[in-house]
Amino acid sequence: MIGDATRTPIILDISKQIFGKHECLRTLNSLETVARGTALQSAMLSPLFSVSSFIVEEYNPLPVSITYRFGSDGAPVTKELFPKGSMFPLTKTVTFDNKIGDMDLLVHYSPAAEILHGLPNQIAQYMIKAGKPKHAESPFGGSKVKFQFKVCNNIHQIPCLESTELIEEWTEEEKIAIKKPVAPTPAPAKEGEEKKDAAPVQEASKTE
């Protein structure tokens, strides 16, 4: 049991009933546990301090969903990205084939999220413009495009749009010049050597 509020008798009684325990452990100073934990977490995040390796698993108590729509006439689609109990910080990537953007994106708490009464469930809203593929008019059958975005539930448990990207795949033909073979040039004959293809010289005879 940590925190000075856990010294209240009714808190102890309710905790025993929920967890089915006869006694609750109190091996740390309840007044110092929160301060020690925050100091340790700050030292782990700071590059100026070196502390022992600890694993901190953050618990997400509020499920987060996204609602998106392509174009002004598209049907809205809702999808839960960060369910209750998931860890954070965490980044999720959503990919769409044959899309170039032109999307309205809404990041909000899921209907099952237990938020305080009167608080809006909307977190952030984005308008993503359409991208321009560079090889849409390719003569080799066009290009394949993918549109993807990343939503991050950051270290402060604030969901936000991290990045958007247009991925394009295309086929390109490259022409390679082929050199023609060149006939070898015969070497010139040296002095004192006869040509192999020269005809023999005949001597003329004179009769009286």
d(CA 120, CA 136): 42
Per-residue pLDDT tens, the chain, 208 aa: give them.
Answer: 888 888 888 988 898 898 888 888 888 888 888 888 888 888 888 889 888 877 778 899 999 999 999 987 789 999 999 999 999 989 999 999 988 889 999 999 999 898 888 889 999 999 999 988 887 665 545 678 899 999 999 988 899 999 999 998 877 778 888 877 777 777 666 665 555 555 555 555 544 4
Segments making up each domain of the chain, as ranges? 4-45, 64-169
Q: Regarding beta strands 144-153 and 90-97, do their DSSP bridges make them parallel or antiparallel, or are they unpaired? A: antiparallel
Q: Which fold has domain 64-169?
A: Substrate Binding Domain Of DNAk; Chain A, domain 1 (2.60.34)
d(CA 147, CA 67): 16
